[in-house]
């Protein structure tokens, strides 16, 4: 089972630039084109938040137009730049979209790997919060099929990356999340976005991966007094390949066309 993983496209109204500087819409269009070039084709696509920049209906309308080029089943959770009710309205025709409350879901009919989506956003703020209610919901979701290979996807990462200006906005109450995940060894990965970089860390007895953004990369500045900054680095997506004999293998896939193929050497 192949799962393509996009994150943080920050789609803007048509013709507008992200932060007034970067054409995030064109970059996301190229990311979708990269998906269509992959062979074999992914079985599904997941997107871990910050679909749009300002949470406006016009942005979601444009996002839906760009997402329409994705032919596979699509699973999306909101990030801190999304607006929950506008997001809910935009995806109201998705069968897994909750009608009220946080936008959690369980996708268990799309293949051997079950996908659990967690909405940990805090309205009008940028950090995430895995509160007690989210804990109860996740415990129930995981306990329903405790031995089935599972991915948990969320937006803000529940660890400190070492980049001080983004760590202020991580997921709070990570100890609660870790305690639940640790009880379910069948959780193959916890997948997040938000950091605009690829990172990997052990978490609660499994692996946690952060996906790069399809637009800018947050600067890898690890000094405690580092100034916030971003770069236009080569964007990328992740490809998660689940096989019964190995479990989940995660690939980092640069977005673009590159010289090759060259002779193998």
Q: Mind listing the domains of the chain with CATH numbers?
A: 2-254 (3.60.21.10)
Q: What is the Cα–Cα distance from 24 to 17, expressed in whole angstroms?
A: 7
pLDDT for position 189:
98
Q: What is the pLDDT of residues 181-230, one digit of tens each?
A: 999 999 999 999 999 999 999 999 999 999 999 999 999 999 999 999 99
Q: Across the chain, what does the average pLDDT equal? A: 97
For 17, phi then psi, to 5°, come to -100, 145
Phi, psi of 64 (to 5 degrees): -60, -35
**Half-sphere exposure for 138 (CA within 13 Å, toward CB):** 28
Give the Cα separation of 123 and 128 in Å (integer). Answer: 9
What tens digit of pLDDT does each residue of 100-122 get?
999 999 999 999 999 999 999 99
The pLDDT of residue 265 is: 78
Q: What is the pLDDT of residues 233-263, one digit of tens each?
A: 999 999 999 999 999 999 999 999 999 999 9
CB atoms within 10 A of CB 71: 12
Asked whether 163 and 194 are in contact (CB, 8 A), the reply is: no
Is residue 264 scored above 90 in pLDDT? no
Percent of the chain with pLDDT over 70: 100
The pLDDT value recorded for residue 39 is 95
DSSP-assigned letter for residue 20: T
What is residue 133's DSSP assignment? H
The whole model's pTM is what? Answer: 0.97
Residues of the chain above pLDDT 90, percent: 99
């Amino acid at each position: 089972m192949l799962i393509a993983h996009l994150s943080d496209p920050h789609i803007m109204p048509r013709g507008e630039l992200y932060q007034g500087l970067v054409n995030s819409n064109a970059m996301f269009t190229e990311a979708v084109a990269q998906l269509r070039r992959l062979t074999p084709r992914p079985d599904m696509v997941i997107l871990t938040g910050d679909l749009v920049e300002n949470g406006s209906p016009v942005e979601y309308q444009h996002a839906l137009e760009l997402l329409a080029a994705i032919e596979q089943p699509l699973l999306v959770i909101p990030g801190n730049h999304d607006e929950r009710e506008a997001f809910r309205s935009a995806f109201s025709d998705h069968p897994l979209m909750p009608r009220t409350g946080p936008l959690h879901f369980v996708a268990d009919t799309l293949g051997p790997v079950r996908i659990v989506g967690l909405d940990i956003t805090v309205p009008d703020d940028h950090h995430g919060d895995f509160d007690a209610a989210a804990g109860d919901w996740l415990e129930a979701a995981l306990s329903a099929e405790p031995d089935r290979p599972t991915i948990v996807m969320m937006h803000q990462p529940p660890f400190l990356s070492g980049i001080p200006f983004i760590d202020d906005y991580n997921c709070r109450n990570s100890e609660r999340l870790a305690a639940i995940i640790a009880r379910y060894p069948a959780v193959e990965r916890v997948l997040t976005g938000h950091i605009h970089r690829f990172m990997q860390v052990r978490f609660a007895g499994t692996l946690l991966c952060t996906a790069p953004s399809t637009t800018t990369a947050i600067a890898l500045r690890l000094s405690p007094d580092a100034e916030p900054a971003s770069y236009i680095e080569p964007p990328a997506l992740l490809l998660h390949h689940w096989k019964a004999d190995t479990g989940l293998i995660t690939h980092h896939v640069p977005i673009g066309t590159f010289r090759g193929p060259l002779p193998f050497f």
